[in-house]
Each structure stands twice: as C-alpha cells, then as structure tokens.
C-alpha cells in the first residue's frame, strides 16, 4: 500500500520503518527532507508532507498535537483517502501532562473536521513508540484499538495495525477516540509517573 507518514519522529519512524519492512511503499513527509537528522532513513523515501500525501492512499499523522491542524492544512485535498491519526491531544496543566480536550469530543474527531472528506481512523495512540518499533519480546500480543466510521476502509487499517505486530481490535466509530485518548493517557502516566517505563503494553486476554 502507498502510505505517507507525516512526521518522522518517534512514532513516524517506528511505523514507517515497520511498514517498509512489510513491503509497503512508504514516504516520510517531513518539513526539511535534506536535514541531517533524516540521514538514517532511505533518501528516496523522504519528501515534503504535501508531496508524500499526494502519492499516498493512506496518510498517517505522527505530529505533536499543537502542530497537527497546521500539518493537515498543509496537505492538499484528502477526500477519499484514509487518514490514521496517531496523535494524542496533550498539553501541560497545573497537574502536569494531560489531555487538553475530551468527554464530548476528541482529537480524532477534530482531525476529521480538519481533513474533510477523508476517512479518519484513530489508532497507534495507546502505546509507546518503542513498542511500535519492536513487539518481538512480548509473550502475549499487545493490542491496538482502531476507531473509525468508514466500515468499508476499516479492514485496510486493521491490516496495517497487524503488519506492525499488534492484535487489531475494532473499537467502533470515530467518537470512541474519546475513550482511546484517555486510555493512552493511562499508558503515559504508568510509563512516566508510576515507574513502569516504556517496556509494557496493553493486551487483551480471554478465557478458555
Ligand atoms: N512517542 C510516543 O511514544 C507516542 C505514542 C503514541 C502516540 N504518540 C503521539 O504521536 C505524535 C507524535 O509523537 P512523537 O513522539 O513521534 O513526536 P516527535 O518525536 O516530536 O515527532 C514529531 C514529528 O512531527 C514533525 N512536525 C512537527 N510539526 C510539523 C508540521 N507542522 N508539519 C509536519 N511535520 C511536523 C516533527 O518534525 P520536525 O523535526 O521538523 O519538527 C517531527 O518529525 C504525538 O501527537 C504523540 O502524542 C506518541
């Protein structure tokens, strides 16, 4: 599949590199493709965000939340395309790092407003980038929930989730991003504030 990963930081690199290994055609959409910090990525896979998105069937948002609206507006018409939103709407308040919105909306739903006409899915937001880069040491397969309204395109996104190595679970419509973003915050709080570190992931275990 032709995939544009917008942002080549922790998440963008982990996912883009994983999909390249699985034979997908990936472009990393970055603001300064010639920057030395991207030298470890294949030069022919680097493009500007708009160039990368123009080539792709699926656009993956791996930008910091405050930059996400501007990053999306810098892409051309995304009608009919898959957009996978990996972001978490994080900001700092009096109690430290937390979500800047929720309950009655979500980052995923705002992304859908900004990417009008695209099929937007929330995924890859509920675990750390290190896990996205390498799941090989887990004895139980970690889970990744996928929320999105386009039932016809959801199987494609679920397959991309499986290609990275997660158990893919359909979480329902995009408004379930209202649950997935606080769920991500639980992972972040465990990792950063409760001593769990980054080498843990959520998984679903079943009776029988
Ligand atoms: N890190 C994690 O473990 C993790 C896990 C799950 C979800 N997330 C979420 O995933 C998103 C990315 O996290 P990250 O840790 O990968 O962040 P990061 O390492 O800071 O990388 C963000 C990338 O976005 C690019 N960027 C910034 N503004 C942009 C713009 N206007 N247009 C295009 N690209 C832009 C940056 O490029 P420049 O270098 O040019 O600034 C950078 O490559 C965040 O929303 C985060 O909450 C992170």
Q: Can you give the pLDDT at residue 125?
A: 98
**Mean pLDDT in residue range 127-152:** 98
Q: Is any atom of ligand 1 closer than 6 Å to the C-beta of 33?
A: no
Confidence of residue 31 (pLDDT cuts 50, 70, 90): very high
Q: Can you give the pLDDT at residue 106?
A: 98
Specify which residues 26 forms β-bridges with.
3
Overall residue count recorded for the chain in this entry: 208
* Maximum Cα–Cα distance across the chain: 53
**Mean pLDDT in residue range 137-158:** 98
DSSP state of 45: G
Confidence of residue 154 (pLDDT cuts 50, 70, 90): very high
Q: Which residues contact 183 (CB under 8 A, 6 or more apart)?
A: 126, 145, 202
Residue closest by Cα to atom 23 of ligand 1: 7
Interval between CA 8 and ligand 1 midpoint (Å): 7
Q: Cα–Cα distances in Å, from 30 out to 74, 117, 167?
A: 11, 23, 29
| pLDDT digit string, tens, across residues 58-115 | 999 999 999 999 999 999 899 999 999 999 999 999 989 999 999 999 999 999 999 9
**Mean pLDDT in residue range 163-176:** 98
All domains of the chain in start order, with CATH = 2-193 (3.40.50.720)
Q: Is any atom of ligand 1 closer than 6 Å to the C-beta of 12?
A: yes
From 31, 64, 68, the mutation candidate for ligand 1 (largest count of ligand atoms within 8 A of CB) is 64
Q: Is any atom of ligand 1 closer than 6 Å to the C-beta of 89?
A: no
Q: Can you tell me whether residue 41 is helix, strand or coil?
A: coil
Q: Is any atom of ligand 1 closer than 6 Å to the C-beta of 42?
A: no
Q: Can you give the pLDDT at residue 166?
A: 99
Helix or strand run (H / E) with residue 129 = helix 129-133
Q: Can you give the pLDDT at residue 56?
A: 98
For the chain, what is the mean pLDDT? 98
Interval between CA 151 and ligand 1 midpoint (Å): 28
CA angle 153, 13, 92 (to 5 degrees): 90
Q: Which two tokens stand for residue 170?
A: 């359909």
């Amino acid at each position: 599949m032709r995939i544009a990963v917008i942002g080549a930081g922790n998440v963008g690199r982990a996912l883009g590199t994983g999909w390249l290994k699985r034979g997908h055609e990936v472009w990393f959409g970055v603001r300064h493709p010639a920057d030395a910090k991207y030298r470890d990525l294949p030069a022919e896979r680097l493009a500007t965000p708009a160039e990368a998105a123009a080539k792709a069937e699926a656009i993956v948002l791996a930008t910091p939340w405050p930059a996400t609206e501007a990053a999306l507006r810098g892409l051309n018409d995304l009608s009919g395309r898959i957009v996978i939103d990996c972001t978490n709407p994080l900001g700092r308040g009096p109690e430290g790092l937390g979500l800047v919105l929720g309950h009655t909306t979500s980052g995923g739903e705002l992304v859908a407003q900004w990417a009008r006409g695209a099929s937007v899915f929330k995924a890859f937001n509920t675990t750390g980038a290190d896990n996205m880069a390498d799941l090989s040491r887990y004895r139980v397969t970690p889970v990744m929930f996928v929320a999105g309204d386009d039932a016809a395109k959801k199987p494609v996104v679920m397959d991309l989730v499986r290609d990275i190595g997660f158990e893919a679970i359909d979480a329902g419509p995009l408004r379930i991003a209202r649950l997935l973003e606080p769920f991500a915050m639980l992972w972040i709080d465990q990792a950063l504030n409760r001593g769990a570190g980054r080498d843990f992931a959520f998984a679903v275990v079943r009776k029988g």
